[in-house]
Amino acid sequence: MKTVRVIPCLDVDAGRVVKGVNFVGLIDAGDPAELAARYDAEGADEVVFLDITASSDGRGTMVEVVERAARQVFIPLTVGGGVRSVDDARRLLRAGADKVAVNTAAVQRPELVSELATEFGAQCVVVAIDARRAPVPEGMAYGAGWEVFIHGGRTSTGLDALEWAGRCEKLGAGELLVTSMDRDGTREGFDTELCRAISDAATIPLVASGGVGSLDHLVEGATAGRADAVLAASIFHFGEHSVAEAKRYLARHGVPVRPVAP
Amino acid sequence: MIAVLDYGIGNLGSACKALVSLGCDARLVSDPATVGGAAGVVLPGVGAFGRCMEALRGTGLDAVVKEVVGGGVPFLGICVGFQMLYESSEESPEVPGLGLLPGRVGLLPPGQKRPQMQWNALEPRSGTSAMLAGLGPRPWVYFVHSFAPVPAGWGPDRPAVGAVVATCDYGGPVVAAVEQGNLWAVQFHPEKSGTTGLALLANFARRCGEEVPGVPAASRAGGKFAAARIRVGAPDMGA
């Protein structure tokens, strides 16, 4: 059967978790490895580390973080942020990552996706797509789809998100991580139309991201958005909801998930 | 020592890390000469069948696998390390497999997203399995694959043919685990399947004679290192 994965995402800056994390009982709430272990224990299906380190000096620390996490967490671990080459990916995979996510570098040099797929297999390659709704032209009811943005959503590319998603799949991506830049940080819920449009066209799995503020939003991502996995950050980090609660809520609302261990 | 075969592709270290976390003496081994004397051998594999097969042959570890499996040494194949035991794969038709098990590797049933990249529940297909002992009646494990073995004579209506001990449902039954004496092989990733996967690896480690203090043995009834054998198909006995 198809089950929907629930994936907490941790933003990591120079080896530390940056968004407020509010767990009771952690020795070091800023340690990504310890948090990942906590999410694993709660029933997370995977964990994503997003490296938002701005300086190149800080980047090496991500490899150490992954190494530490991989020694204690035995669920899939995806690492994104700053992966620009096959060598970058190799370092993270060797350290214990199971998948690497590429975003800006893939848009700038799409062959990177096929290089990674050839070297490590498509199952390792996640293409992260940051998309924004195209503006609604005057006199029209809706805009022409979604545009891909890079550099953390700051730079427009002129690429249509659906076309880019299709191209990534052909290039050998194993999964798409689709973030709505319109919804990211708003807590208003996923852009389910964006998710659905890409998910219906894709034959590879789609992870919905951006905008989760409640457990109902996770349900919407899986149902209206037809996502194969739902990613969230703040609702888990701030201790509003545990991953276990999220999964029970999804199951109660008819979304199949891996049951949480009793 | 448990030898985890390292033939130079992708990330093959995870199974080793998981075994080490259980307190086992597990090592990544790339030199065929070093495998001799290992109490058990793990063959992991990620990526494309053809690329894995060629890399395995390139290191000479293919002969080691044949020797180990034929010689009764505990063996565990994981993912593409499972698929390579068969004669061929639809993914790379020009590259022959190891041919240790009769059958081929085929694309997952149509109508579902590929790869299957998710947790799925195992359906036990045989009365007994030492590998799955103590994992519960329907253990959940993590899959990442677009292809899966199709043992000779196996079919949805004959789901236990070819020593298949478990399938999962993904647009129809898909072969998930095979157990034939010392040869254990799984399509899913026990090293990425949380505590359930660690329990499977602990079963393997015990079979190799390793003490696994961290994970309670399902049963010690058969002697200190004997693998527990329970009827996984019977719901009342699923631990």
Q: Which domains does chain B possess?
A: 2-227 (3.40.50.880)
Please give the pLDDT value at position A205: 97
User: What sign has the CA pseudo-torsion B57, B13, A62, A100?
Assistant: positive
Give the pLDDT confidence score for residue B215 in this predicted structure. 65
Contacts of A126 in chain B (CB under 8 A): none
Give yes or no for residue B104 having a pLDDT over 50. yes
| Residue A78 C-alpha from the chain's centroid | 8
Q: How far is CA B59 from the centre of its chain?
A: 21
Rounded to a whole number, what is the largest CA-CA distance in chain A?
57
Say if residue A25's pLDDT is above 70.
Answer: no
The predicted structure's pLDDT at residue A21:
53
Closest to B226 measured CA to CA, from B208, B201, B200 = B208
> For residue B226, what pLDDT is reported?
30
* Nearest-CB residue to B113 (from A93, A97, A228): A228
Residue A19 or residue A172, greater confidence: A172
Chain A residue with minimum CA distance to B16 = A71
Minimal C-alpha gap between B65 and chain A (Å): 22
Confidence at A247, pLDDT banded by 50, 70, 90: very high
Nearest to B192 among A3, A76, A122 (CB): A76
What pLDDT does A1 receive? 87
In this structure, are residues B6 and B40 in contact, taking their beta carbons and an 8 Å threshold? no
Strand-strand pairing, A229-232 and A5-13: parallel
ipTM attached to this prediction: 0.92
Q: Which of A14-18, A61-65, B9-13 has the highest mean pLDDT?
A: A61-65
User: pLDDT at residue B115 above 90?
Assistant: yes
Helix A111-120 × helix A86-95 angle, to 10°: 40
Q: Which chain B residue is nearest to residue A169, measuring alpha carbons?
A: B114
CB atoms within 10 A of CB A179: 25
Query: Cβ neighbours of residue A155 under 8 Å, at least 6 residues apart?
Result: A149
Q: What is the pLDDT of residue A143?
A: 62
pLDDT for residue B234 is more than 50:
no
Q: In Å, what is the CA distance from B85 to each residue of B26, B30, B50?
A: 22, 19, 13
Structure tokens at B194: 């949380």
Q: How many CB atoms lie within 10 A of CB A96?
A: 21
Round to whole Å and give the CA distance between A255 and B121: 15
On the question of pLDDT at B181 being above 70, the answer is yes
The whole-angstrom separation of Cα A92 and Cα B97 is 29
Residue B216 has pLDDT above 70, yes or no: no
B155 versus A142: the higher-pLDDT residue is B155
Q: How confident is the model at residue A142 (pLDDT cuts 50, 70, 90)?
A: low
Name the helix (H) or strand (E) containing B182: none
What pLDDT was estimated at residue A19?
65
Q: What is the pLDDT of residue A102?
A: 97
> Closest-CA residue in chain A for B174?
A1
Q: Which residue is listed with tokens 């709505």?
A: A180
A174-221 confidence digits (pLDDT tens): 999 999 999 998 999 999 999 999 999 999 999 999 999 999 999 999
Residue B225 pLDDT > 60, yes or no?
no
Give CA–CA dist A32/A49, Å, rounded.
8
pLDDT at B231 over 50: no
Lowest pLDDT segment from A155-159, B85-89, B161-165, B209-213: B209-213
In this prediction, what percent of chain A has a pLDDT beyond 70? Answer: 92
Is the pLDDT at B28 greater than 70, yes or no? yes
Strand ranges, E, within chain B: 2-5, 26-29, 40-43, 75-78, 88-89, 103-107, 116-121, 123-124, 140-145, 147-151, 164-169, 173-180, 183-186
Distance CA B30, CA B35 (A): 8
Beta strands B147-151 and B103-107, pairing class = antiparallel
Write B28-36 long-range contacts (CB < 8 A, 24+).
Answer: B28/B4, B29/B3, B29/B4, B29/B5, B30/B5, B30/B6, B30/B59, B30/B61, B32/B59, B32/B60, B32/B61, B32/B63, B32/B64, B34/B3, B35/B3, B35/B5, B35/B61, B35/B64, B35/B68
Q: Look at residue B237 in the predicted model and tell me its pLDDT.
A: 33
Residues belonging to chain B with any Cβ–Cβ distance to chain A shorter than 8 Å: 9-11, 13-14, 17-18, 21, 46-48, 51, 112-115, 117-121, 140, 142, 144-146, 169-170, 189, 191-195, 197-198
Structure tokens at A35: 């948090």
Region A60-74 average pLDDT = 92
Res B217 pLDDT > 60: no
Q: Model-level pTM? A: 0.91
SS3 A96: coil
User: Considering only CA atoms, which of B45, B40, B25 is closest in space to residue B72?
Assistant: B40
Q: What pLDDT is stored for residue B106 in this prediction?
A: 97
Q: What is the mean pLDDT of residues B48-76?
A: 96
Over residues B70-92, mean pLDDT = 97
